[in-house]
Structure 1
């Protein structure tokens, strides 16, 4: 991990806002942005497209080695390409959301993507002067030496409302309940291989339950500026 450039690692449960808040913070800081969760989603999409059995851990690990994955790390327009095809929308479908935990909990896949994430963090930070990387294991496994490590969290109720608005456009009771499985079940599945509900030593907890989007971004930026003032780009 580069010691010359700002590296911010953001972890947190589903629906905590870590993707949108991290992206906005990266844009405000003028640095790169890496959505590591999208990498697991891309592998999931690739396996589904290729007809690979997601319960075959060896086959999925091999697919992870083979996937022609390219991550666009500009926070103004992040992108995911596989074999030259832009798949940002494809990896956000219910089909992928319901299957991604099978890949994310594959203990053969995780170290492969974690190393790729380390390489990308170093590359992006070097190219842009810094990076905000978010996703599972970022603060503890992928980038434990990051300049700033943040666990972005929120209550289950707040996370369900946010994801419901994202998926359904509103947070009516029936929409919230339809979203519950994606949030609660995925967190339960992923927590078998990753600890993202409690802040590890040296990781700053930022609770956004009672904050709106702009306030959440400001709260994250306040931590960055407080903990790494010498590395925040001018």
Structure 2
């Protein structure tokens, strides 16, 4: 059993020292089959509308004629969004605030894009190393810079998601831990601040899942 709010960053609980908290990451999968047995309501129609808009946007970015090519990025958006919102509830493990999860998603995607690009479109990948109009004397430096920027892409994707989720959760936790020493007026003021922070974190949860999926889509479009 968790003892404080900082336990949401601990991958293992006190029950036989097992990483049981990671089970919360898979909770969304158990709810997927139930949507096929429910009468479509406003929530489902709203969610399907969002996914359809994302599909059209990703399809434009990828310049792909295949309808199923955006499925992996829509699934990533839904998965990250679910886990981000789940972490906003007290005493629930936030899996997206760990590099174990975020790097596990971004690194295989980046590796698959790079392998596909260098094997099938080698000339196109070399052309990306040097932007058009680069002076001859700067070409070696541009190749180095582009190579480094390509290598650090999975790390930036993972750290961006992890840092944003940790920052908001830690700020809310630290503010709430100071409430015991406040007067009644300051406690009311602190509650208002916490509500505003919670709204901000809800927006961050949506924005980060969207940013990760959009950047992954852009990275995949560069190898075609």
The two structures have a TM-score, normalised by structure 1, of 0.26
More helix by share: 2
The two structures have a TM-score, normalised by structure 2, of 0.27
Q: Determine which structure has greater relative contact order: mean sequence separation of CA pairs < 8 Å that are 6+ residues apart, divided by chain length.
A: 1
